[in-house]
């Protein structure tokens, strides 16, 4: 139930909307209802139905929507209603295309002889103005908002949800958090420190979703300072895991500083493990230790990786974590390859592959490691079979370096077997992938080297 202050602040907008719907019966009118808070939208619709009992249909657009006009037409069996409220547009996977198509066929919307009420948030409204100004010029904008006290209550409700380690921030969550910060700034209201720290974390999640890594780190570190001072174990861990993820992303995007960023990631991951050990949460050490191993692997610190994998192996056997066990064996197989211990590498890779509960992309890595050991043991046919299987299971967009390594080893083996045409074809595919993911500068087709 909305409190009195919220009802008072939104009542003028609600009455203006009711009046507009009355006056627009039997004709098309476009209204953009600007509101950044989902719960408030629901309450406004409830109040609208209570104060104006006419037929108001609702349409929630699917993420896969291609055309606003066609979707409305398909969902109105008789083609008309007294009013239609549309929501979900901000979550469209191809939002720009949906808006562009609406602009291109805007005259068709006049076939809808009823008020069309479209919920928008701040981000979506900016897109309307920027991408479809002609369509937007038809619209009247009606604002609904929360009081500062209600914004604070909203953040209290979101507090625990934000620190769910598996949280995925969607466009609606992002809009709410960013609007909350803006509304509080404009009102001059100061949050209590713990809510401010939670909001900073949420804004960090939003920044990372927008690939603003530096901004995410700034928000995360502000939040971390508070939770460190208050000795909150769980929230420190979640923040450090997210900070480590940021540094790993920076390492991918800035190869000149790759080692620097990966060392910062290691520092944060190690502090996570230290916190787990202090809290005697061996189960959490077992769950997250592999993240540190992945960074040691990227740094090619093989002795560090071997020590960690051996420690992790004992933990994962105790807790029966099958995927993590496969990862441990994969680490040890890679270390054995670097030490030219081909039989040992083969044994570890086969153990990793034998574990069923692993993703195809991980299976591709373990098959690649197995093929490497088989190559050095002279088992060429088996190596080729595993490499082809690894290529089929791997995804260039998720791990382009692994895919390139698979192709290079497969090319070398095909060449070794005298299959020169196939070796050349694989080489051309490898060059294409290297260009696509920025691992090779384009120097012109005629200048491409013909390596053997």
CATH number of the domain where residue 52 is located: 3.40.50.300
Residue 434: inside a domain, yes or no?
A: yes
Query: How far is Cα 250 from Cα 257, in angstroms, rounded to an integer?
Result: 8
Nearest to 203 by CA among 179, 230, 227: 179
Q: Are 106 and 139 contacting, i.e. CB atoms less than 8 angstroms apart? A: no
Q: 59 phi and psi, to 5 degrees?
A: -130, 115
Give the DSSP letter of residue 60.
Answer: E
Residue 79: inside a domain, yes or no?
A: yes
Give the DSSP letter of residue 190.
Answer: P
**Per-residue tokens: 29:** 């009118």
Q: What is the pLDDT of residue 449?
A: 38
Task: Give per-10-residue mean pLDDT for the chain (452 aa).
Answer: 67 94 92 94 92 88 94 82 93 93 92 94 94 92 94 89 72 83 90 93 90 95 96 94 96 92 97 94 94 96 97 91 92 96 97 88 94 94 94 90 94 91 94 85 41 36
Q: 192 phi and psi, to 5 degrees?
A: -65, 150
Domain count, the chain: 3
Residue 322: inside a domain, yes or no?
A: no
Is residue 8 domain-shared with residue 63, that is, in the same domain? yes
DSSP 402-430: HHHHHHHHHHHHHHHTT-HHHHHHHHHHH
Q: 32 phi and psi, to 5 degrees?
A: -100, 115
Is residue 157 domain-shared with residue 125, that is, in the same domain? no
Q: Are 48 and 17 contacting, i.e. CB atoms less than 8 angstroms apart? A: yes
Q: What is the pLDDT of residue 79?
A: 66
Is residue 8 domain-shared with residue 141, that is, in the same domain? yes
Q: Are 200 and 178 contacting, i.e. CB atoms less than 8 angstroms apart? A: no
Instruction: Using the Cα atoms of residue 294, residue 295, residue 301 and residue 303 in order, give the sign of their dihedral.
Output: negative
Query: How far is Cα 148 from Cα 189, in angstroms, rounded to an integer?
Result: 7
Is residue 62 domain-shared with residue 105, that is, in the same domain? yes
Q: Are strands 29-34 and 140-143 parallel, antiparallel or unpaired?
A: parallel
User: What is the pTM for the complete model shown?
Assistant: 0.83
Is residue 159 domain-shared with residue 225, that is, in the same domain? yes
Is residue 78 domain-shared with residue 190, that is, in the same domain? no
302: exposed, middle or buried (C-beta count within 10 Å: 0-12, 13-18, 19+)?
A: middle
**Which residue, 230, 265, 280, sits at the end of a domain?**
230
CATH number of the domain where residue 201 is located: 1.25.40
**Per-residue tokens: 126:** 């900016």
Task: Give the structural domain span for 138.
Answer: 4-145
Q: Are 56 and 25 contacting, i.e. CB atoms less than 8 angstroms apart? A: no
Q: What is the pLDDT of residue 318?
A: 86
Is residue 83 domain-shared with residue 141, that is, in the same domain? yes
Query: How far is Cα 434 from Cα 400, in angstroms, rounded to an integer?
Result: 8
- Give Rg (Cα) of the chain: 28
Q: What is the pLDDT of residue 443?
A: 41
**Which residue, 95, 129, 145, sits at the end of a domain?**
145
What residues contact 168, with CB distance under 8 A and at least 6 apart?
none
Q: What is the pLDDT of residue 174?
A: 79
Q: What is the pLDDT of residue 2?
A: 45
**What's the full length of the chain, in residues?**
452
Q: How many CA atoms lie within 13 A of 394 on its CB side?
A: 21
**Which residue, 207, 230, 253, sits at the end of a domain?**
230
Nearest to 114 by CA among 20, 201, 182: 20
First CA to last CA across the chain, in angstroms? Answer: 74
Is residue 30 domain-shared with residue 139, that is, in the same domain? yes
> Token pair 């904008």 is at which residue?
141
């Amino acid at each position: 139930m909305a409190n009195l202050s919220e009802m008072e602040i939104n009542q003028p907008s609600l009455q203006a909307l009711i009046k507009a719907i009355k006056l627009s019966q039997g004709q098309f009118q476009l209204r953009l209802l600007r509101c950044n808070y989902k719960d408030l939208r629901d309450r406004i619709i409830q109040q609208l139905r209570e104060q104006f009992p006419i037929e108001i249909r609702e349409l929630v657009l699917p993420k896969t929507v291609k055309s606003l006009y066609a979707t409305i037409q398909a969902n109105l069996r008789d083609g008309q209603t007294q009013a239609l409220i549309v929501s979900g547009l901000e979550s469209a996977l191809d939002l720009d295309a949906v808006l562009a198509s609406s602009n291109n066929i805007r005259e068709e919307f006049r076939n809808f002889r009823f008020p069309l009420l479209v919920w928008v948030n701040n981000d979506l409204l900016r897109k309307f103005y920027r991408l479809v100004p002609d369509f937007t010029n038809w619209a009247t904008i009606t604002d609904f908002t929360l009081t500062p006290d209600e914004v604070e209550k909203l953040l209290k409700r979101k507090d625990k949800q934000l620190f769910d380690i598996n949280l995925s921030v969607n466009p609606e969550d992002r809009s709410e958090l960013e609007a909350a910060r803006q509304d509080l700034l404009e009102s001059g209201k100061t949050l209590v420190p713990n809510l401010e720290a939670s909001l900073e974390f949420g804004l960090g999640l939003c920044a990372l979703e927008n690939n603003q890594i530096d901004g995410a780190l700034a928000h995360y570190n502000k939040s971390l300072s508070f939770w460190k001072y208050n000795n909150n174990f769980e929230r420190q861990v979640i923040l450090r895991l997210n900070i480590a993820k940021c540094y790993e992303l920076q390492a991918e995007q800035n190869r000149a500083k790759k080692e620097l960023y990966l060392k910062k990631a290691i520092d944060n991951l190690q502090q996570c493990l230290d916190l787990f050990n202090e809290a005697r949460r061996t189960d959490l050490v077992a769950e997250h230790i592999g993240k540190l191993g992945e960074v040691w692997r990227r740094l090619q610190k093989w002795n560090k990786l071997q020590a960690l994998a051996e420690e992790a192996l004992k933990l994962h056997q105790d807790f029966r974590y099958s995927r993590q066990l496969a990862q441990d064996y994969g680490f040890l197989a890679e270390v054995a390859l670097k030490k030219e211990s081909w039989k040992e590498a083969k044994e570890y890779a086969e153990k990793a592959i034998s574990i069923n509960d692993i993703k195809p992309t991980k299976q591709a890595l373990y098959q690649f490691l197995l093929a490497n050991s088989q190559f050095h043991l002279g088992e060429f046919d088996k190596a080729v079979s595993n490499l082809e299987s690894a290529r089929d299971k791997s995804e260039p967009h998720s791990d382009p370096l692994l895919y390139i390594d698979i192709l290079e080893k497969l090319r070398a083996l095909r060449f070794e077997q005298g299959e020169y045409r196939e070796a050349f074809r694989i080489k051309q595919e490898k060059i294409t992938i290297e260009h696509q993911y920025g691992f090779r500068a384009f120097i012109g087709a005629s200048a491409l080297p013909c390596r053997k």
